[in-house]
């Protein structure tokens, strides 16, 4: 799966890593639902850090279409809320 982190570029994520990313995504959604900015910020950074950790960076000139687009680390709670689909940022 090709994932783009806005402002950073694309990474290739293995299907084996989706489950752990979904767990982090669920925690992020919970923080958004209650409007808890400090927990939201912690969970967003944890999700993005995990994507960077497990993902294999693609070259900057790669033209692969992104299957997922994740917000930048400095995104606001409202910006991320607008990006959420029915299944969160990381569909299951």
Q: Structural domain boundaries of the chain? A: 2-84
What's CA 14's distance to the chain center, in Å? 14
Residue 92's pLDDT is what? 65
| pLDDT tens profile 25-72 | 999 999 999 999 999 999 999 999 999 999 999 998 888 899 999 999
| pLDDT tens profile 2-20 | 999 999 999 999 999 999 9
The pairing of strands 2-5 and 68-70 is parallel
DSSP annotation string for the chain: -EEEETTTEEEE--GGGHHHHHHHHHHHHHHHHHT-HHHHHHHHHHHHHHHHHHPEEPPTT--PPPSEEE--TT--HHHHHHH-BTTBSS--
Residue 89's pLDDT is what? 83
Taking residue 29's Cβ as centre, other Cβ atoms within 10 Å add up to 18
pTM for this prediction: 0.91
């Amino acid at each position: 799966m090709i994932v783009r982190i806005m402002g950073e570029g694309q990474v290739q994520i293995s299907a084996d890593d989706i489950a752990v990313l979904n767990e982090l995504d669920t925690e992020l959604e919970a923080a958004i639902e209650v409007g808890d900015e400090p927990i939201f910020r912690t969970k967003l950074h944890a999700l993005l850090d995990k994507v960077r950790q497990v993902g294999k960076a693609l070259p900057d000139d790669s033209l692969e279409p992104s299957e997922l687009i994740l917000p930048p680390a400095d995104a606001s709670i409202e910006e991320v809320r607008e990006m959420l689909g029915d299944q969160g940022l990381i569909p299951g």
